[in-house]
């Protein structure tokens, strides 16, 4: 980057933000910038900004007599988070709390698929066939949907919270090949007791949740098409009769389909964890939602603070 100054600058900055090497006089000059670069020139005030490695660096040069110092600030890269869990494990509730505090863009793969189905497209028709059977939608459909949404400007600028995806090792691998790597993979764990055979889907917490309770949580869910708010006929009923009259049920929120989805989740979750084992946060999903969020919030706060120090 050429400059009109008569000095050549090429140095780093130490931990206190002061130059480690002085400048030297030169007829032609260049300024080499890195994420830690600063420079001084007496009696002149400069302002500039640049983007390096997707991090915006802003520097302000303050005038002093025969010396100058630099005040530098850096905007940390936005957070990239994935959250996974069995149907009715509480992902929607936690996503709402996370996005409210951290401003991340909430991207739910299920919502993307349901929107495609509602459009009546060929991909939507194919996706519905698989979803009605409780099976994973083919990757050539869903991976591209998720990829395109992650690439939109709001996701790139504010960071994203990917909800319920990836759901298989193949999907996780595809996202990695496209360059999407999360900073944290959150797994909401519930220990599901199946009435027939006393089998366990997950073994993380010290509490048991009967499979029928999870089924009840899903089957009782209702969507307000006007506001997009999710209600539950038993646990979170609508405020008025007017709202109640317009509520709808998702086509895949039936008892038969949710049991198939539970089985599919169990078959694939361990494989997905292999991809993200170094950045996985396992959260006990059997405790009250406030306690669940406290576990998540602590991890995200630390991650956010550590990012600001880099």
Judge residue 86's burial from the number of C-beta atoms within 10 Å of its C-beta, 0-12 exposed, 13-18 middle, 19 or more buried: buried
- Given the residues 133, 250, 282, 307, select the one marked as catalytic: 250
Residue 221 is among the residues annotated as catalytic for this protein: yes
Residue with tokens 């630099």: 70
Catalytic hit among 80, 114, 128, 167: 167
Does the annotation mark 91 as catalytic?
yes
Q: Which residues of 72-84 are buried (b: 16+ CB within 10 A; e: fewer)?
A: eebeeebbbbbbb
Q: Sort 296 into a burial class: Cβ within 10 Å, 0-12 / 13-18 / 19+.
A: buried
Q: Would you call 126 a catalytic residue per the annotation?
A: no
Q: Is 246 a catalytic residue?
A: no
- SS3 of residue 38 by DSSP: coil
Give the whole-angstrom CA distance, residue 298 versus residue 300: 6
Count Cβ atoms below 10 Å from residue 247 Cβ, excluding itself. Answer: 18
Q: What is the DSSP string of 34-61?
A: -TT-----TT---EEEEEETTEEEEEEE
**From CA 177, how far away is CA 277, in angstroms rounded?**
17
* Residue 234 annotated among the catalytic residues of the structure: no
Helix axes 289-309, 91-102, angle to 10 degrees: 40
The active-site residue out of 149, 221, 222, 257 is 221
What is the C-alpha to C-alpha distance for residues 1 and 217, in angstroms, rounded to an integer?
A: 60
Q: SS3 for 114? A: helix
**Which residues are part of the catalytic machinery?**
91, 167, 221, 250, 261
């Amino acid at each position: 980057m050429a400059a009109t100054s008569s000095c050549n600058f090429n140095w780093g900055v130490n931990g206190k933000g002061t130059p480690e090497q002085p400048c030297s006089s030169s007829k032609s000059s260049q300024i080499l910038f890195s994420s830690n670069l600063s420079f001084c020139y007496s009696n002149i005030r400069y302002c500039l900004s640049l983007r390096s490695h997707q991090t915006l660096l802003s520097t302000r040069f303050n005038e002093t007599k025969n010396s100058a110092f630099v005040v530098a600030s850096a905007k940390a890269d936005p957070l990239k988070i994935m959250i996974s869990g069995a149907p009715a494990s509480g992902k929607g509730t936690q996503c709402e709390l996370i996005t409210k505090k951290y401003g991340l863009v909430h991207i739910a793969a299920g919502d993307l698929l349901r929107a495609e189905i509602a459009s009546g497209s060929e991909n939507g028709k194919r996706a519905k066939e698989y979803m009605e059977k409780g099976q994973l939608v083919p990757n050539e459909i869903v991976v591209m949907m998720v990829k395109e949404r992650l690439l939109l400007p709001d996701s790139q600028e504010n960071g994203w919270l990917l909800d319920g995806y990836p759901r298989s090792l193949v999907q996780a691998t595809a996202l990695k090949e496209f360059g999407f790597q999360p900073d944290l993979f959150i797994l909401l764990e519930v220990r599901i007791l199946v009435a027939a055979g006393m089998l366990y889907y997950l073994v993380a917490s010290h509490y048991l949740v009967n499979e029928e309770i999870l089924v009840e949580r899903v089957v009782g869910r209702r969507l307000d098409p006007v506001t997009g708010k999710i209600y539950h006929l038993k646990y979170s009923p609508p405020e008025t009769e007017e709202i109640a009259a317009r509520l709808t049920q998702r086509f895949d929120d039936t008892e038969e389909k949710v049991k198939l989805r539970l089985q599919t989740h169990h078959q694939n979750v361990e494989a997905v964890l292999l991809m993200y084992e170094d950045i996985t946060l396992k959260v006990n999903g059997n405790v009250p939602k406030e306690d669940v969020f406290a576990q998540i919030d602590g991890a995200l706060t630390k991650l956010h603070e550590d990012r600001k120090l880099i």
